[in-house]
């Protein structure tokens, strides 16, 4: 009898164990950017919705065993986001979400903007070295849909968003609009992405907060928030690469001091050196480079008042491939016809002429005053100084001038900017931002004339609003800008001071709708504009690197874009899909076009290019599909299609990136907690030949398409601090392919770099004070 | 209150630290024409026998590449079957007084080479008559031995060949390239 009862008891307990629906899951909701706990965020499992407590902690109980989708319910706290969890789950689940508070502060529109495949892919963490490639901002952003790059040799890389670059992109460095000589296609952004922490792309006419020029979009380069009330932590990053035999070291330390923790600091530094790059068959002469960057930030965060000071310096020395410095058209033709450049070099870390020295200083004062829980005002003052020196291949004939070793020309750009904005939270569903901004800028050159001296004044005012409920989200904004440019230029040996004034409104309206749990549909309409830039108005001279004479047109009008975007996202554990289409119509698109006849100079005849305006359309499609194959493997397909037409002349638009497809196969282990994880990723990028070009409009027809194979493998270990220790070995151009890219200005002269092995190590550290535990 | 004073003082320091002196004059730039330019190429032909009159041809573009068009681009007119000694002069005439750049080219003779190319049918043989420190020709002076009457183009180039000069024209970059219409009468 006893045995029988025992048997029944065991049976029952086994039965009840297998059907046990009494599990609980504990977790916390944290901000993906700041890692801060989010109180009162709504999370759900199946139909059960609860709120996190004031410490951002949630507890689900009465759960059965199995796999569930933990969802952050879209509301003001966070973006709709899913996390797959397994029950039972003994650990503390950390659910990182995109919050709107952060966005309202800096990236208001981004959250609602399409194409936002997921928060992860539209915001990149620069410390996620298992996903990020390259050392420059331009290379690192390529992972975003619609982003490609424009390069000059291998060291100067600029980001391109849906075919737009340079003057048509705004880069915001830690809250300040970066003001360098960004008009030049061989002028890379003067930013060390290591400091950034986060890289975010905002597309469409939505960069309203950041003023004019955001035609292609806004790139936000933002460091993590200062560590108020937190312990000291930081990281050290080391990397080495085989091609160029170079390497870099970067480190950051941040923490708070004084007992209250209201004061915090952050210091960072980066140094990098690279030698001559090698194409598969030869050394690409004079492609060495070196750079350093450092920054310091100090902040105070009280109940009402927040203040932070920031200073950063960036400096780089870049060698310019010698074979690209062309005397005239005859030299250029010789360069085209030879498959190998005339003088290839040997390996060196030294730079010879032609070369560039670029330095950028940025200082910032940021004040925030929280009037009450609903209203806060912020003020940002920024001062920037940009120095650019370009050295020609040819030193001066006059010995005494040559002995000074002066740059062929030097540009100095000083910028003062002030932005004031007030944010009002009318209700849980409706928020507004009112802002004004002003900018004062002076440019001075010395040496060879390329762009004149100028003074620029800009002022703007804007309103942004966001309304959101469980299903719908509306965002809208309006801005008006005024820009005044005074130029100091010699005409017939007489100094003249013409003034150009431009003003125009910008507007944006977006709508997004959640359909069920898996779909989001987004639409955006907007208009943005930019005044013509200084080079488009006044450049007049020989561009050595391009062997052409570029002539500006002082009569150019403003360029206005009307854009529309439509996107769909699907997300579940079967697949992640993001497809978007966009159409941009330009009123007065400014483009550099060939103009006959060639100009006769003492150095021979040169083709002449003039800045002209015409109405154009640029449209395309960006898509990405990610499918998990089994437990450990995922496959991603990403494609960009871009078409541009000059409507006035009814021909293809020059200089659009060609279409490309990227496929990635990633294997990764799924260890949770502090377990060691490893991953292997293989990537194949197919870049097609640009067939949409006008015959005889370029020196040489676009290079043929290519398929680039790269791979990387690494280990990731989560440390107690929550940060990841990472070691990654990567190889780009695995097959050592000789190829040329249409968006590289040196495509006429030399192949791209060959195979490159890279080893990257990221070591996070965190210092916990012992006395605090006592 | 103490805190506020502290914050304000930090702000003040930060702001003053930013106010660097503007070293360059923005509103009063230097006239770009005062920069080093080769504005003028002049070639003077002297009859080797001292009988025929001198012939001079020049190219003048005072504001350098871009801007205004060249003001002079002469035709070279030489007498058939004569022998001329030619001498090249390079000037920067945007400066007053004009700067003679020929001297600098001569000093850096080991890095420079003048090249003369004639279109088919132009009956002339050109020989450089000067030498640099490495005993390679420069071409500032040359001898032109002419044949029968003919017409064509004489392309005169100055090649800059720092460290790579071998006497051949195909290396280096172009400092000057002018296609002179040439008539041998």
Quick: pLDDT tens for A694-710: 887 777 788 899 999 99
- Distance of alpha carbon A221 from its chain centroid, rounded? 7
- By Cβ distance, the residue of A398, A497, A599 closest to B66 is A599
Structural domains of chain A sorted by starting position, each given as residue range(s) with its CATH number in brackets? 13-98 (2.60.40.10), 193-323+330-340+349-773 (2.40.170.20)
Question: What would the pLDDT profile of A258-292 be if each residue is shown by its tens digit?
Answer: 677 899 999 999 999 999 989 898 888 888 999 99
Structure confidence at residue A9 as a pLDDT band (50, 70, 90): very low
Q: In the structure, what pLDDT confidence band is assigned to residue B25 with cuts at 50, 70 and 90?
A: confident
pLDDT exceeds cutoff 90 at B143: yes
Which of the pair, A610 or B13, is modelled with greater confidence? A610
Asked whether the predicted pLDDT for residue B90 surpasses 90, the reply is yes
Q: How confident is the model at residue A674 (pLDDT cuts 50, 70, 90)?
A: low
> What token pair was written down for B185?
């009468």
Out of A107-111, A378-382, A442-446, A558-562, pick the least confident: A107-111
pLDDT-derived band of residue A409, with 50, 70 and 90 as boundaries? confident
Cβ burial, residue A101 (10 Å; 0-12/13-18/19+): middle
- Two tokens, residue A593: 């076009």
Question: Shortest Cα distance from A360 to chain B (angstroms)?
Answer: 13
Q: Which two tokens stand for residue A723?
A: 């940060």
How open is the CA angle A180-A185-A189, to the nearest 5 degrees? 40
Does pLDDT of A142 surpass 60?
A: yes
Give the Cα separation of A92 and A672 in Å (integer): 11
Q: What mean pLDDT value characterizes chain A?
A: 83
Q: Give the CA distances from residue A307 to residues A310, A568, A573, B11, B178, in Å, rounded to whole numbers and listed in that order.
A: 10, 40, 43, 9, 63
Q: Closest partner residue to B32 among A385, A414, A490, by Cβ?
A: A490
The size of the A-B interface in CB pairs under 8 A is: 146
pLDDT digit string, tens, across residues A582-592: 999 999 999 88
* A610/A596 Cα distance (integer angstroms): 10
User: What is the average per-residue pLDDT within B131-141?
Assistant: 93
Distance from CA of A444 to the nearest CA of B (A): 5
Considering only CB atoms, which chain B residues are within 8 Å of A606?
Answer: 65
Identify the CA nearest to B151 among candidates B80, B87, B55.
B80
Residue among B7, B19, B23 minimizing CB distance to A300: B7
Highest mean pLDDT among A237-241, A519-523, A652-656, A716-720: A237-241
Nearest CA in chain A to B26: A444
Cβ-Cβ contacts under 8 Å for A69 (sequence gap 6 or more): A45, A46, A82, A83, A84, A85, A517, A573
Buried b / exposed e over A470-501, threshold 16 CB at 10 Å, is eeebebbbebebbbebbbbbbeeeeeeeeebe
User: Where does the pLDDT of residue A125 fall: very low under 50, low under 70, confident under 90, or very high at 90 and above?
Assistant: confident
- Residue A602 is predicted with a pLDDT of 84
The whole-angstrom separation of Cα A453 and Cα A450 is 10
Question: What are the tens digits of pLDDT across the range B99-113?
Answer: 898 988 898 899 899
A372-396 pLDDT, tens per residue?
989 999 999 999 999 999 887 766 6
Q: Is B16 on the interface with A (CB under 8 A)?
A: no
Return the number of other C-beta atoms located less than 10 Å from residue A507's C-beta. 17
Q: Which residue has the higher pLDDT, A670 or A639?
A: A639
Q: What is the pLDDT, as a whole number, of residue A492?
A: 75
- Nearest-5° Cα angle at A108, A106 to A111: 120
**In terms of CA atoms, which chain A residue is nearest residue B171?**
A342
A106 pLDDT band (50/70/90 cuts)?
A: very low
Highest mean pLDDT among A222-226, A336-340, A443-447, B79-83: B79-83
Residue B177 has pLDDT above 60, yes or no: yes
Give the tens place of pLDDT for each residue, A753-771. Answer: 899 999 999 999 988 765 5
- Radius of gyration of chain B from Cα atoms? 26
Which residues of chain B make contact with A540, given a CB cutoff of 8 A?
66-67
* Interface contact flag, A343 B171, Cβ < 8 Å: yes
| A277, A406, A428, A663, B36 from A357: Cα distances, Å | 19, 12, 50, 37, 22
Rounded Cα distance between A545 and A461, Å, is 40
Confidence band, pLDDT 50/70/90 cuts, at residue B163? confident
φ, ψ dihedrals at A504, nearest 5°: -170, 150
Percent of chain A with pLDDT over 90: 38
pLDDT of residue B112: 92
Whether A445 and B29 lie within 8 Å, measured CB to CB: yes
Mean pLDDT across chain B: 84
Q: Which of A95-104, A166-175, A406-415 has the lowest mean pLDDT?
A: A95-104
pLDDT-based confidence at residue B21 (cuts at 50, 70, 90) = very low
Does position A172 have pLDDT exceeding 50, yes or no?
Answer: yes
Mean pLDDT value of segment A647-659: 88
Mean pLDDT of B69-80: 90
Residue A748 is classified by DSSP as G
pLDDT category of residue B11 using cuts at 50, 70 and 90: low
The whole-number pLDDT of residue B34 equals 58
What is the structure's pLDDT at A63? 79
């Amino acid at each position: 009898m006893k045995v029988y009862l025992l048997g029944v008891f065991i049976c029952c307990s086994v039965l009840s164990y297998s059907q046990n629906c009494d599990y609980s899951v504990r977790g916390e909701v944290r901000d993906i950017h700041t890692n801060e706990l989010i109180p009162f965020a709504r999370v759900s499992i199946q139909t059960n919705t609860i709120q996190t407590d004031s410490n951002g902690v949630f507890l689900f109980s009465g759960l059965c065993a199995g796999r569930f989708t933990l969802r952050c319910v879209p509301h003001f706290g966070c973006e709709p986001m899913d996390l797959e969890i397994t029950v039972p789950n003994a650990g503390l689940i950390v659910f990182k979400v995109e919050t709107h508070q952060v966005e309202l502060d800096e990236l208001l529109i981004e959250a609602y903007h399409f194409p936002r495949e997921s928060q992860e892919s539209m915001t990149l963490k620069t410390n996620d070295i298992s996903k990020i490639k390259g050392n420059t901002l331009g290379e690192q952003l390529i992972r975003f849909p619609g982003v490609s790059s424009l390069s000059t040799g291998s060291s100067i890389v600029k980001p391109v968003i849906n075919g737009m670059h340079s003057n048509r992109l705004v880069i915001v460095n830690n809250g300040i609009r970066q003001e360098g000589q960004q008009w030049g296609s061989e002028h890379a952004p003067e930013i060390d992405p290591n400091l950034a922490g986060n890289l975010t792309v905002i597309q469409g006419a939505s960069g309203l907060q950041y003023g004019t020029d955001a035609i292609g979009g806004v790139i936000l380069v933002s460091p993590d928030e200062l560590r108020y009330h937190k312990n000291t932590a930081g990281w050290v990053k080391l990397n080495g690469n085989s091609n160029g035999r170079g390497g870099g070291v970067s480190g950051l330390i941040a923490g708070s001091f004084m007992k209250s923790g209201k004061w915090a600091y952050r210091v960072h530094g980066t140094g990098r050196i690279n030698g001559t790059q090698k194409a598969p068959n030869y050394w690409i002469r004079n492609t060495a480079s070196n750079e350093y960057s450092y920054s310091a930030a100090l902040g105070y965060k009280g109940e009402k008042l927040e203040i932070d000071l920031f200073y950063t310096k960036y400096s780089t020395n870049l060698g310019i491939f010698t074979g690209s410095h062309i005397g005239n058209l005859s030299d250029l033709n010789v360069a085209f016809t030879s498959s190998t450049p005339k003088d290839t070099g040997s390996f060196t870390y030294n730079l010879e002429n032609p070369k560039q020295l670029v330095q950028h200083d940025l200082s910032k004062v940021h004040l925030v005053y929280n009037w009450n829980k609903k209203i806060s005002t912020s003020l940002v003052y920024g001062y920037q100084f940009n120095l650019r020196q370009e050295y020609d291949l040819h030193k001066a004939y006059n010995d005494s001038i040559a002995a000074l070793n002066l740059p062929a020309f030097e540009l100095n750009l000083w910028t003062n900017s002030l932005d004031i904005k007030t944010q009002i939270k009318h209700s849980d569903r409706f928020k507004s931002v009112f802002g004004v901004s002003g900018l004062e800028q002076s440019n001075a050159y010395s040496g060879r004339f390329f762009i004149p001296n100028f003074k620029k004044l800009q002022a703007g005012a804007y309103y942004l609003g966001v309304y959101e409920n469980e299903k719908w989200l509306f965002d809208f904004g309006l801005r008006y800008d005024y820009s005044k440019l005074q130029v100091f230029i010699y005409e017939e040996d007489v100094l003249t001071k013409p003034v150009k004034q431009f003003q125009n409104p910008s507007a944006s309206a977006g709508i997004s709708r959640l359909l069920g749990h898996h779909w989001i549909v987004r639409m955006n309409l907007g208009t943005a504009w930019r005044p013509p830039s200084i080079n488009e108005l006044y450049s007049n001279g020989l561009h050595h690197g391009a062997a052409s004479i570029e002539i500006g047109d002082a009569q150019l009008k403003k360029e206005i874009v009307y854009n529309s975007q439509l996107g769909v996202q699907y997300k579940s554990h079967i697949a992640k899909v993001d497809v978007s289409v966009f159409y941009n119509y330009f009123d007065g698109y400014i483009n550099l076009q060939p103009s006959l006849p060639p100009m006769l100079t003492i150095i021979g005849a040169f083709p002449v290019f003039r800045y002209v305006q015409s109405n154009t359309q640029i449209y395309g499609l960006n898509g990405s599909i990610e499918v998990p194959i089994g437990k450990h493997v995922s496959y991603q397909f990403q494609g960009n299609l871009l078409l541009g037409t000059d409507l006035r002349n009814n021909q293809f638009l020059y200089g659009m990136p060609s279409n490309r497809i990227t496929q990635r196969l990633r294997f990764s282990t799924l260890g949770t907690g502090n377990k060691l994880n490893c991953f292997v990723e293989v990537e194949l990028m197919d870049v097609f030949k640009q067939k949409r070009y006008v015959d005889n409009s370029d020196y040489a027809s676009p290079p043929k398409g290519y398929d680039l194979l790269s791979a990387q493998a690494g280990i990731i270990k989560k440390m107690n601090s929550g940060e990841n220790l990472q070691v990654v070995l990567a190889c780009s151009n695995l097959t050592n392919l000789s190829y040329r890219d249409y968006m590289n200005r040196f495509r006429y002269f030399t192949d791209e770099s060959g195979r490159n092995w890279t080893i990257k190590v990221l070591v996070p550290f965190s210092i916990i004070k012992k006395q605090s535990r006592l | 209150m103490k805190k506020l004073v502290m914050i304000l003082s930090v702000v003040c320091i930060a702001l003053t630290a930013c106010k660097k002196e503007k070293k360059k004059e923005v509103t009063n730039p230097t006239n770009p024409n005062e920069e080093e330019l080769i504005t003028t190429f002049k070639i003077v032909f002297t009859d080797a026998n001292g009988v025929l009159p001198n012939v001079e041809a020049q190219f003048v573009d005072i504001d350098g590449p871009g801007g205004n068009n060249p003001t002079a681009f002469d035709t070279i007119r030489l007498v058939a079957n004569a022998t001329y000694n030619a001498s090249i002069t390079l000037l920067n005439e945007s400066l007053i007084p004009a700067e003679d750049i020929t001297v600098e080219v001569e000093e850096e003779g080991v890095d420079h080479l003048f090249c003369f190319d004639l279109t088919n049918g132009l009956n002339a043989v050109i020989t450089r008559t000067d030498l640099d420190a490495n005993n390679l020709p420069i071409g500032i002076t040359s001898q032109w031995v002419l044949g029968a009457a003919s017409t064509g183009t004489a392309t005169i180039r100055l090649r800059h060949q720092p460290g790579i000069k071998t006497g051949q024209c195909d290396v280096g970059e172009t400092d000057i390239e002018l296609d002179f219409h040439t008539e041998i009468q």
